[in-house]
Amino acid sequence: MIGCDCEVCSSTDKKDKRLRASILVRSAKTTLVVDTGPDFRYQMLRQKVKHLDAVIFTHPHKDHLAGLDDVKAYNFHAKKPMNLYADSLTEEALRRDFYYAFTDTKYPGIPELSLNTITLDPFMVGDIPIVPILVWHLKMPVMGFRFGKFTYITDANRIDESEKEKIRGSEAMVLNALRKQKHISHFTLEEAIEMVEELKVPKAYFTHISHQLGLHAEIESELPDGIHLAYDGLELEFT
Ligand SMILES: [Zn+2]
Ligand SMILES: [Zn+2]
């Protein structure tokens, strides 16, 4: 956190250096990211991502959208618009926040975007099948996504019974866990552990972690078997 000198913010452990929540999903033919937060540009530079086919969005909060402008680098390399997938709520925010990319009189150097509206119906991006999962961020609907054996959920504090069915059977999942103290719109560490245990997903990685949670190494050692804190640069492979 800007201006904070707590033990996490001043830690020298690389795993305590967290940028905004996002993942990159890659198959043999297709590469996509989930969300473009304010750190999107640096994340793509750091991971040396040369090619990107699409962005899919979870919800319209700024920490998940703000970096979208930088997809223009991929427009430049691929010479085509970036495919975006968002529900109607997020689409509204994208059109508002990035109005200059959606006008008829486009000036040079702005991102070229091709917007696809998604619902809860499964869809494909290239050869990657995606099942949207509705979760709740207080009163805001947020899209979680299942990619085959893997489920990604961020910014939730409630999941309806019917949507839990879509997660069951996953080999691994990412779930948000903000801190130990109660929060109005995010799962706490304890709530996230309970959710993973209820869903019986054998491997889970927590994301969207606040500096208030504590040091990575200390919290990691308190977690039940199969549950870990995610960290920037973590890679998971599914065959
Ligand atoms: Zn701090
Ligand atoms: Zn968020």
Q: Which of 204, 141, 132, 202 is nearest to 191 (CA)?
A: 204
pLDDT tens-digit series, residues 115-132: 999 999 999 999 999 999
* CA of 5 relative to ligand 1 center, distance in Å: 5
Ligand nearest to the CA of 16: 1
Q: What pLDDT, on the 0 to 100 scale, is given for residue 105?
A: 83
For 172, counting Cβ atoms within 10 Å of its Cβ (0-12 exposed, 13-18 middle, 19+ buried), the class is middle
Contact 175, 196 (CB under 8 A): yes
pLDDT tens-digit series, residues 33-74: 999 999 999 999 999 999 999 999 999 999 999 999 999 999
Q: How far is CA 98 from the centre of its chain?
A: 20
* CA of 37 relative to ligand 1 center, distance in Å: 20
Q: Determine how many CB atoms are found less than 10 A away from the CB of residue 7.
A: 11
* CA of 81 relative to ligand 2 center, distance in Å: 26
* CA of 109 relative to ligand 2 center, distance in Å: 28
Ligand nearest to the CA of 35: 2
Q: What pLDDT, on the 0 to 100 scale, is given for residue 122?
A: 98
Rounded mean pLDDT of the chain? Answer: 97
Ligand nearest to the CA of 179: 1
> CA-based angle 45:53:73, to the nearest 5?
40
**Please, what are the averages of pLDDT over each run of 10 residues along the chain (239 residues)?**
97 97 97 98 98 98 98 97 98 97 88 97 98 96 98 97 98 97 96 98 98 98 98 96
